Amino acid sequence: MDSKSIFIWPVIISIVGHVALITASSMIDLRENAKTVQLFTVQIAQSEPVAPPKKEEKPAPEATPKPDQEVKPIPQGTREETVHIGSSDVKYAAYLAGLKRRIMNLWQYPAGAFENKEEGEVVIKISIDADGTLAETMVLTTSGSVHLDSGTLGVVQAAAPFQPLPEQYDLSRLHIIASFHYRLHD
């Protein structure tokens, strides 16, 4: 037998065997009997273009800041930018991912909304100063539920202060548009 074929045949047999095992294992679904339980979810994602708000019977919470959270004026000659939290812009990706992670670590479905089985989508604007302080939070599109709207603002305020804006942004304030989707599942 040739010395090359001594090495080639075991390699060929091994490749054919591995391909057969992978093919056979992909036909078996071990998760078939597993049942996942998911009570509720929240998704912070890039919002779609903001549509005019629906007329509601319940009065929506005002978009004015609370007395302990005054909107800080921006000095003249400074730069601001607005970005969606799901932006794929490489410039902001790392900062937005960190912000999203910080909010998600504190997030809980608002108790009042959970008890009343309220669902909806809240679109908010988060304004962060260069030093990472939360300058303002504002509801842009209400969910129709006071519990969901105030819970969304509350979790963002609880997550503050955030990391300072990277110097390469050369911004005094960054406005972030975030969409929170609240869904209850059986």
Q: What is the pLDDT of residues 116-134, one digit of tens each?
A: 989 999 999 999 999 999 9
177 occurs within a structural domain? yes
19 occurs within a structural domain? no
Q: What percent of the chain is predicted at pLDDT more than 70?
A: 72
Q: How many CA atoms lie within 13 A of 124 on its CB side?
A: 27
11 occurs within a structural domain? no
Query: In this structure, how many other beta carbons lie within 10 angstroms of the beta carbon of residue 87?
Result: 15
Residue 36's pLDDT band, with cuts at 50, 70 and 90, is: very low
Cα 69 to Cα 152: distance, rounded to the nearest angstrom: 15
95 occurs within a structural domain? yes
Q: What is the CATH classification number for the domain harbouring 66?
A: 3.30.2420.10
Q: Give me 178's structure tokens.
A: 């975030």
For 41-80, write each residue's pLDDT tens digit: 455 544 444 444 444 444 444 444 444 455 555 555 578 9
158 occurs within a structural domain? yes
Domain that holds residue 80: 40-184
Going by C-alpha positions, the residue among 158, 154, 156 that lies closest to residue 146 is 154
Query: In this structure, how many other beta carbons lie within 10 angstroms of the beta carbon of residue 74?
Result: 14
Q: Is the pTM higher than 0.75? A: no
Q: For residue 144, give the DSSP letter.
A: S
2 occurs within a structural domain? no
Strand ranges (E), the chain: 40-45, 80-84, 120-129, 134-141, 173-184
